[in-house]
Amino acid sequence: MRSWTQKRLRNNSEVMKVAVLDVNGKDTGRKVDLSKKVFAIEPNNHAVYLDVKQYLANQRQGTHKAKERAEITGSTRKIKKQKGTGTARAGSIKSGIFKGGGRMFGPRPRNYGFKLNKNVKRLARKSALSIKAGEKAITVLEDFNFDAPKTKNFTAVLKALDLQNKKSLFVLGASNNNVYLSSRNLKGSEVIISSELSTYKILNANQVILLESSLEGIESNLSK
């Protein structure tokens, strides 16, 4: 009875323990607590869908434009008489039914963005992190820095973590120019700070690497 009670208390704990690795991919012997309210919730698929849809919509420039008949350069002379030709009436060579005429109902510049409640966005990010945690695709890494921006240094970190051929997302606690510039030439890796974390970026990565300094910011933002 006692062991069952202890097991239930462990399962009901509000945190889960995760090992901290170093830049060489070795276990440091330390563990950090990840809040189950952020990393172990029941994923809300519809919230995830809406947040990803908004992110992708915001990436669209919306600058597409086609000229309509009022914007075409050409004569406005009536090209044939109204009746008696046996064909449809036509008032201008700029009509969309003629070659070189304006396009009918063509695309116009527009903004594809739409509003999304911030509570929905917060739920979507927690859902995405919970999905990744369930897939064992979240790694906690101790904070590191480089003396100078060098792609070789960042590649060595990827190799140590066995991420050379995987999409990876590194989440820093604060801006680090040397780490960011070292990763910029690598197509499969992205480095962001915790405030830039989005549902799309989490799900688009095969492995999410959270630096220790980022955990406090992530949990404080998403635990509200």
pLDDT of residue 12: 56
In one-letter notation, the amino acid at residue 111 is N
pLDDT of residue 197: 95
pLDDT of residue 11: 53
Tokens of 197: 């974390």
Does 98 lie in the same domain as 38? no
Does 118 lie in the same domain as 25? yes
Q: Is residue 83 part of a domain?
A: yes
Q: Strand, helix or coil at 168? A: strand
What stretches in the chain show pLDDT beneath 70?
1-12
In sequence order, what are the residues at sequence separation of 6 or more whose Cβ sits closer than 8 angstroms to the Cβ of residue 109? 62, 63, 64, 65
Q: Is residue 3 part of a domain?
A: no
Q: Residue 40 is part of which domain span?
A: 11-61+112-222
Q: At what angle do helices 118-134 and 212-222 cross, to 10 degrees?
A: 130
Q: Is residue 1 part of a domain?
A: no
Does 101 lie in the same domain as 183? no
Does 116 lie in the same domain as 193? yes
The CATH number given to whatever domain includes residue 37 is 3.40.1370.10
